[in-house]
Each structure stands twice: as structure tokens, then as C-alpha cells.
Structure 1
Amino acid sequence: MSDRWSDRKNRSICNFLVSSPRGTIFLASIDTSNIIKTKEKVFAMLDDFVEKIGEENVVQFVTDNAANYKAVGEMLMKKRKKLFWTPCAAHCIDLMLEDFEKKIEEHKETITKGRKITSFIYNRSRLISVLKEFTKGKELLRLGATRFATSYLTLGRLVELKGALILMFASEKWLSTNYARIDFGKNVEFIIMDHLGFWPSVVMCLKAASPLMKVIRLVDSDSKPAMGFIYQPMVNAKNEIKSNFKSVKTRYEPIHEIITNVGTVQEKESTTSTQHERPCIIEEESSNQYADEEWINPLDGSSSSRPQASNGGKDDEFLKRAIRDELRGAGGGRELGAYVLDLGDKDIDAPFVMLDKN
């Protein structure tokens, strides 16, 4: 398995690991900063490791889904007839979340507004101090295993801290600052106070993304190999998304189409592999760093005060609690059961079926 890491200066290393039923061990690490990532160069590097390990000992090679690695996978299988290439499952799901943001306007606008909130607050030390007073020390940022998982987890954190944010921007501590009088500050305040626009849209985004976040947690776990059961959770996720949107086709079909398209592309470029292999090993450092930059870096050119982001944890439980609290706080929700909430007949407020406790 190859595990690529890169920092903000585009310095990169590639770790190589070997996985078997007995566990995963580290093999080697190569500084690839000065290596041009063409398919020929990457192929030579990966093929050399196969040769060192012994072709008879290698059943499968797991990499990410970048175009050059896809081409390398095909080249490896062509040369090594008994070897199978498999794309990273976590990266596949991350591509689905990326397409949500790129291709669905509501997701794109909502995530952009969320980034405005976090970047505005975290680039002003005085506001960070005020924020922590109202949130009791909780951070707005929440990092996930992948870049776009971080985006949706942070939206979930914003929902969880909605009340604190509204109180903060209605308080004298905010109104007495110069930031409350600048255009950027007024814009952020309007987003946070927009009960009928921003917050319902956040809930809609989480209804689509939460089932996939649960799958990411599953495939990114070290507790057991994911290959034997990854397909059924994906089917369950699609069914859950449909249920979340009350089977309204205009709502769930664009989501299903993205999931199907990404999954189909990856299936065509992969083949069936042995049951013990885990096609989800890659967790690129560059992903989380890029997420930090997008959610923290100033959008108005000011200097940055980098916060300590809240990490991982039980993401499905976290999102479940955040959305439940938001729907209850909306004033129009009613609890139908332990994990089902209904906001009424409006399409935008279709019910959200909460993730089960297991």
C-alpha cells in the first residue's frame, strides 16, 4: 500500500506498507519532493517495491485515485499478471463529498458561507477570545479523516454551536468591536442571523453527507478489514439519504447520481481482490492541511491566528446530536421517535432519520 503525504510547501513523502491478515507493518518511506509524478516515474517506484518483496508475495496494491496512480495500477496489472490494483475506499467517498460541493449549488453556497464564518473569527484574536466565552471553550473547526469530510463535520459543529454564535453576534461584546462595523463583519453577522436561509441549508447538506460520513468512519477504522463489507454500507447509505429527504426525487436523486457516478468510475478501474485487504489505507496529511487553509485562512487578506481544531471522535454521533439540536431549536420540529424528526410539509425541511446508536 502506498500512503502519500505532502505539506503546505508541496514537500512530499510516500510511505509503503504491507497488509496481511495479521495486521499492517511499515516497509519504507521515500522523499518524493524532487520526483516528477508522471505515471512512468511512479510506476518505476512502485514496481521496484513489488520486485523487492517478491511478486509471488503481493496480491494487491492499494493507492489513491489520482489519474497517474490509476494509470500506474493498470501498468502494474499488465506487467504483474497475478497482482490486482484497488483504489482507496476512503478517497472514493471523499470524491463523492467533493462532487456534492462542486455540483450541488446549495452545498457550494452553504460551505462557502461556513468558511466565511470560521475564517473571519479565527483570524481575529479578540473574536477568538469572545467566541470561547460563548461556546465554553469549544472550537468551530472539526477535522475528519479526509478533506471534504472536514467540511461537513465543521458544518455540523456550526449547527451544534448555533445558539452560542447567535448570542455572540447579538451581544454587546460583538457590537462594541470595530469588526461589527466593517462590511465583512456585517456579512458574517447576517449569515449567522439568517434563520430561514443559512441554517436550514446546513441541515440539508448534513442530511446528504451524514450517511457517507458514517461509511468513512467504517472504512477508515483499524478495527477490522473493510473489503468484505464495504458494498452493503454504501447501499445502506443511499437508502438512508433517500429516507432523509422523504423520498422526494428532486432532493435525493442528484445525491444518488453523484454516488453512483463516482462508484462506477472506480469500479471500472479496479478488480475484485482478496477478502483480507483493506482498500482504505490512505489518509493524506495534505487533505487535512488543505482543509485547515480553506476554513481558517483569511478571505479578506488579513493575518491568520491558527486555532487548535477539534478532531475526529464519534462523527456520526456528533452529527446526529448537532442536527437533532438544530431541528429542535428551529421551533417547528416535533420528535416522532428516538431518531426521527419532522419539520413539516416543506420540502426543504424534510425529516432527517438519525443514525442508529450502533
Structure 2
Amino acid sequence: MTSSTTVRLPWIDNLRTLLIVLVVNLHVCVTYSHVGDWYFMSAQEPTLAEKVPFIIWQAHLQSFFMGLLFFISAYFAYSSIARHGVRAFVRERLLRLGLPALLYMLLIHPFILLGLNPWDFNFGPPVEFYVNYLRTGKFIGSTGPLWFAVALLLFSLAFAAWRLARPRSNDLQPVTVPTGTFILLFSLALGLGSFTMRIVQPIGTSVLNMQLCFFVQYIAFFLAGLCTARNGWLLPMASSSYARIGGKLALFCGPPLLLTIIIIGAKTAAPEAFFGGWHWQSFCYAVWEQLVGVGLSLGLLMFFSRKCNAENKKLRWLSDRSFGVYVLHAPVIIALAMLFRTFPLNIYAHVTLLTLTGLVASYAVTDIGRRLPGLRNIL
């Protein structure tokens, strides 16, 4: 185990905070753009011209932010299991990931349905509905954003099982830092794998609330995080020339390239052709997504390691509560969206307002929750 896995890295905490902020923003965008799926959508669907900026923005977010969260989680999982052992690691993962998922499935999701109920749907008597919700097992697939915690728990348990089967794997000689050519081939392989997965699991489909169309990247990024921790690659990769070049290319070339693919592809096929199946539109989108996703991930690692390595009380406060915001933000932004739905604002003003107030309120609710007995350890 390298020293890089045992030292607290403020820039990683700050990066993780940013990723949670982007998660909240994405769900706000879906609320008003109708691009994607979310609990509550605005009553009026925007025009195609209004949707295009959201399509570009949301596609770029989806290309990297959840994969990067899996990468960071795996990076620290490696050092955690090395320090504390497999059993302690599994107990900690069950507590930190399993309990928040159960909290969401058993309390938060039913509260959104029955308490907020933005659709004014008649669910019947609440007690009868809740009993049926549990009895039929519907709660299992009602993880909302906490699908991430469930998936990460499964990945972590698989890693723990591997360490039990291969206890001496940590004694292997470190591998040299990946080259730019390897990263490019890795990205192309992810694109091909995503395209293949989407033949049977197109974008928009899910299994127990997990969109398997994105899981090729999630699994690969998790494994990359483990390899990065074992071999001490994090800082060398973050300071590499390909991280700087890849980040800039993804940032400046990603949007016009995606727009070009959309314009050309839309002339010969329906929008569904981009989501999956044997379509060149799906292939090009999958390859674009992974090239841009890897590039943006590396660029953010480079930028935060150089420019955002500060630590103070305010940043630490935000970082300590970022996962709680992830757990609790859904009912917060739904309630606020219901409150704001009569405001005479344009779509972009609505997104700005809901993002800012949703973040402030989510952090406030998380801070209150962390003061309650039993919640501090899972928020």
C-alpha cells in the first residue's frame, strides 16, 4: 500500500463535493428539461430549442460524474480494507451504504409518494399502501438516487470477497503508471462495451432502478480506482500531460462534437437510435460519451490536485455533509419545485433558482439530520 492512500487529500474531498453538487443540478435540470426521468417534471415541456442546451449539459454530466464517484470510492475502499481488514470493511460498508439505502427505500421514497405527492395521485389509505409496498417487495427497486449506494455496496462486497480469496494480492509488484495510449484505448474499449450493453439495455431502461446501460463505465472506473490505489497512480495521473490534454479536449471539443452527432444522426433516424440497438448513432454516442467522460475525469483530477487542494472549516463542513445531501436532496428539490411551479420565470431562471435553493436547503436538512441520534453515522 502506498503512502498516497493513507494521507488525507483535501482536493479529493473538494472534488467529491463538486460531484454531489452536480448530481443535484442534474436532477433539477431533468425537472424542467424533460430530458431524462425524475419524480416530478414541470407541467410545460420546453421547446426543442430550449432543450438543446440541457441535452448538451446533461450528456456531459452523465459521461463522467457517477463514474468518477465510483473511482474515488474504490480508491479509498482499497486503503480501508488494507488498514482494517475484510470483516471490518464489510461492516463499515453495510453501515455507511446499506443503511442509507434502506432509509431511502423505507422512509424517503414513501414520503415523496404519500407526503409530497406532486401528482395529486390517489394512492388509497396510506397504511394499506405502505403495507402493500413492503409485502410486494416494491421497495427493493425504490432506491431513487440511492441506487448508487446499492451498486457501490455490491461492488465493495465483491472486492471484499476477492481479497478473502486472494489475501496476498497486495504483495504484487506495483505496475507503472498508464500511458496516454493506454488511456485512449481504455476509453475506446469503454465505448465499445457501452454500445454492446445498450443493444440489450438501452438508455432509459433499468433493472431494480439500476440503469445497466451505464454500468460498463461504473464497473471499469471502480476497478480503475482499486488499481490506482494499489499502484500509487493517483498523483502521477493527475499531473500527467494526458490529463491536461484530455481534459481540455473533452471540455472544448465535446460539446460541438456531440451537437454534430445529434444533427447528422437525427436526419436519418428517430431519437431512440441514440439510446441503443444496432444503430451507428448509438455507437457514436457511446464512444463520444466514454472519450469525453474519461477526459473530463482526468481533467478534473488534474485541476483539483493543482488548484483546489485547500482545506478550511467551510470546505470541510461541506465535504462532511456531501453524502447526506446526496441521500436527502430528492424530497427537498421536489418540495421546492412544487413551491416554485407558479413563479413566472423562464426555464433557465427556474433551474438556477431551484439549484441554489435546493443545495442550501439540502445542506441545512443534512446538518439537522446529522444532529439526530442514529443518523450522524449514515449521513
TM-score by length of 1: 0.29
Structure (1 or 2) with the larger CA radius of gyration: 1
Q: Which structure has more helix as a fraction of its residues?
A: 2
Structure having greater relative contact order (Cα 8 Å, sep ≥ 6): 2
